[in-house]
Every structure is written in structure tokens, then in C-alpha cells.
Copies of this chain bind each other. A is one copy, B any other.
Amino acid sequence: MKTRLLALVLCCVFTFNYAQTDETVLKTIYSTSLTNGKSYDWLDHISNNIGGRLSGSTNAELAVQYTKTELEKLGLDKVWLQPVMVPKWVRGEKEMAYFEISGEISKVNICALGGSIATPNGGIKAKVLEVSTYKDLEALGTEKVKGKIVFINRALQTELINTFQAYGGCSTERYRGAAEAAKFGALGTIVRSLSSRQDDYPHTGSMSYGDLPVEKRIPSAAISTNDAVKLSEALKNNSNLEFYFEQSCQQFEDVQSYNVIGEITGSEYPNEFMIVGGHLDSWDLGDGAHDDGAGVVQSMDVIRLLKESGITPKRSIRVVLFMNEENGLRGGRKYAEVAKEKNEKHVFALESDAGGFTPRGFSFDCSDLMFSKVEAWKPLFKPYLIHYFEKGGSGADIGPLKNNDTVLAGLRPDSQRYFDHHHAANDTFEHVNKRELELGAATMTALVFLMDKYGTDTITKTKEIKD
């Protein structure tokens, strides 16, 4: 009886200490981020002193050099560049577009989609066929489509609480619209911007011609949500109106670029890797502060906050700043490829690529057993209003690491404002709130700390006890 009582008491003491310690560490992490974080200053530099960082651009290379230098200042065990060839697409002159009814011209705001070809010199002018999805084209057929500019006017579903779900429901229109319309002889495509807001900003993003031969490709642009409504209304009154657009974008040969990597080598399991990252490249219209400057600087601060909070990780923790998420994912693929070649065991990867907004939690791509382990940490996060722990999705850059042994996770910030700014000229530094950004960095650090401390094994690891 006495033995059982002692066991019970010991168990209580153990549980109590265990909980207290983690609570204290998380408090230190959050306080340090909010009172002595570096993420906001780094983002200021990346956004305002460098700016938009499209793969293959001078700005992208400036961001590589800057972040490498800043990581070197942190006194990590290793900092290096991982070479990767990336596509180089250049927007060229500012695009121009209008529609014309009986000689009266209404200007509209467009931008070329990333990967699109240019219009012929002097632009394209043609009648417009409005569809609500590219899937309508099959039924309309060549007869209706040929010689027209196809206007894909699909709005995000505003009633969805998760704006990423609303975005996902429309993103194929942007990605495949031109390739599909070209099959039926369209001259070009104009796609409604994938924005949650009614405003005048066109939102760019990647598109692909798939296996369409070069000579069949047609130019594709995004139109602002306000102008999509305006154009659609004008078409209701006059289906014969003519639309004009001109863009001079161009695809060049691939160029050399880099992922930027920093590492704290693990004290107990140096050959087990946990990575935290975001993507260094961005679209060119804004300064890419939310997408994904925020993820870059938060990831950098994770590794710094671990050090500042006096945490000595058992496993090797890497910050990985990926190149070319936006239009190729070459950085993410390269990192996974090299990891495989070197037989590096990656046990955990966390990405922040959903904006620098107030963090709400994480999504996980892992086994049910591992997810139960993670869910047990929820009470630790409650004081920080971190409540969202769900299975489903992580991040594009870490996706190529997916296998049964690697736990993948994505930071999930509040999503309501993200698609107001995503891929548009208003994705800029002043729309990032310092505290929200810092809370994200702290939340990521806390998860990395717990993953390292308790490991990702779901069968408890037993270490030999040495005298």
C-alpha cells in the first residue's frame, strides 16, 4: 500500500514539474519574442530595403545574401547556401487593359499571371466570352470560344470561414484557365483575381500551359475584383463589347539561386533533423511582406528564440529559407532531394506560409497516434490563445519531405485578411502588425521546443541508463 502511495505521489510530483517546466519555457519564449523579437526588424529590411523577390531577380539574390548574413550573426553551428536552379520570368512593362463600347473606353486593372507569355506587340483586342469556370469551355466548344478573349469570372465563396478553402476552390481557374481556353482557340484569358475583397488590385500568381505546344499558348492576366464586376455588368448590356490588353512578360533560361540554411546541431541526436522554414521568393507586385517575408523572418527568429530562451535542442534544428515556392517549388524539391541523397533523417518540418497574422494554431500531416501526442500539448498553448490543432496540410516547401517518418506541420494564422493582399501590390510591410508577427514566431518556437523535447516517436524511446 505504502509503495503504491509513494508511486502515486511521485507520479503527481513528476507530472507537476513536467507541466511547470514547459509552461515556464513557453512563457519565456513568448515574452522574448514580444519584448525582444527580431522578426519585425528583419521584415522591415526585406520588405522596404529589398522589396519584391521574384525567383531569378536581383532582389531575390539580395534577400539570399541578407538572410545568410543575418543568420551568421546569430552564432549558429552552421550557415550555408544550397544551390538550386530556378525559373526566371519577368513581367516587363506595366500591363494595360480596357474594354470598349461604341468607341467609349473603360480602363481596367490587370496584371500578367506568372508564367504567361506576352501579348503580340500592340496587344490583343477581341470580343469577350464570360464563363464562371474553365470547365464550361468544353460544352461551349471551339465555335463559341474561337477568336475570343475568355473571361473567367469565378468569385471566392465569401461564406467559407477558412479563406484558404475559398481560394483553393478557385485557384485552378488561374492555373489552368489559359491552357484550357487555348485548346478551343481563345486568343487570351482574363481571370478574376483570387481576392477576398472588392477593390482595384489585380492579384497575380502562377499559371501553367501544361503540355500545350509553345505555338498554341495564349497570354493570361488577372483582373481586379472591382473590374471583374464592372466588365461582367458591361457584358450583360453589350455582349459585343471589345476587350483590349497588352503585356510584355517573358520567360528566360533558368538561373542559379539558393536556399539559405542555418543549423543548431543537436546535443543528443545530431543526425535527427527538425526544420522550420518559409520561402524567400515572392511575387513582384508588392514587397511580399505577408507572402512570405513573414514566414522567413519568423523561421529565422525561431532558431534565435531557442537560443535566447536558453534551450539546447537535442536534435539538429535547421532554419530553411526556400527559394522559388511561387513559381516552381524548386527550392523545396532541392532540399528534399539533397536530404535524401545524404540520408538525413528528418523527423519534423514546420512551415509558415500563410501570412504574418495572429497565429491560431497548426495543421498537421502525421499519423493519428502522433496527432494525439500533439493534442496533449494544447493546454500549454491556451494562455496564448492558440487553439487550432487539426490534421490536414502543412506547407508547399516542406511537402517534398513527406514520408511516414516525418511529421509535417503548418502554422495557421488568422486567415481573414490574407487574400486581401496575396500576390498583389498591397502585400506590403505596413499591413503586417508587429505583435501578430511576433506571436507567430513564438508559437512556432514553442512547437519546435516541444517536438524536440518529446520527440516524434509514438512508441516511447527508452534510453539506457548509464551509471
Contact = CB atoms under 8 A, between A and B. Distances in A.
A385 B385 contact: no
Interface stretch (A280-288, A327-335, A433-441): A433-441
A272 interface: no
Given A34-B159, A385-B388, A414-B414, A196 B358 contact: no
A133 interface: no
A436 B161 CA distance: 10
Nearest to A159: B31
Interface in A21-46: 30-31, 34-35
B30 A159 contact: yes
Contacts of A31: 159
Contacts of A433: 416-417, 420
Contacts of A436: 416-417
B158 A34 contact: yes
Given A30-B159, A417-B433, A436-B416, A387 B387 contact: yes
A31 B416 CA distance: 15
Interface in A237-274: none
Contact of A383 (B30, B161, B439): B161
Contacts of A416: 358, 433, 435-436, 439
B360 A161 contact: no
B435 A384 contact: no
Nearest to A198: B434
Given A30-B161, A416-B439, A435-B196, A385 B360 contact: yes
Nearest to A360: B385
A373 interface: no
A379 B63 CA distance: 44
Interface in A406-436: 414, 416-417, 420, 433-436
A197 interface: yes
Contact of A434 (B197, B383, B384): B197
Interface in A364-402: 383-385, 387-388
Interface string A144-158: 000000000000001
Interface in A156-175: 158-159, 161, 163
Most buried by B among A35, A387, A436, A439: A387
A441 B373 CA distance: 36
A423 to B, nearest CB: 18
A34 B159 CA distance: 5
A158 B31 CA distance: 8
Contacts of A158: 34-35, 435
Contacts of A385: 161, 360, 387-388
Nearest to A439: B416
Most buried by B among A385, A387, A434: A385
B159 A35 contact: yes
Nearest to A383: B161
A386 to B, nearest CB: 10
Interface string A169-205: 0000000000000000000000000001100000000
A454 B435 CA distance: 39
16 contacts: A30-B161, A31-B159, A34-B158, A34-B159, A35-B158, A158-B435, A161-B384, A161-B385, A161-B439, A197-B434, A360-B385, A385-B387, A387-B388, A414-B414, A416-B433, A416-B439
Interface of A: 30-31, 34-35, 158-159, 161, 163, 196-197, 358, 360, 383-385, 387-388, 414, 416-417, 420, 433-436, 439
7 shortest interchain CB distances as A-B pairs: A387-B387, A31-B159, A416-B435, A34-B159, A34-B158, A416-B436, A358-B414
Given A30-B161, A34-B159, A416-B439, 11 more contacts: A35-B158, A161-B439, A163-B435, A197-B434, A358-B414, A360-B385, A387-B387, A416-B435, A417-B433, A417-B435, A420-B433
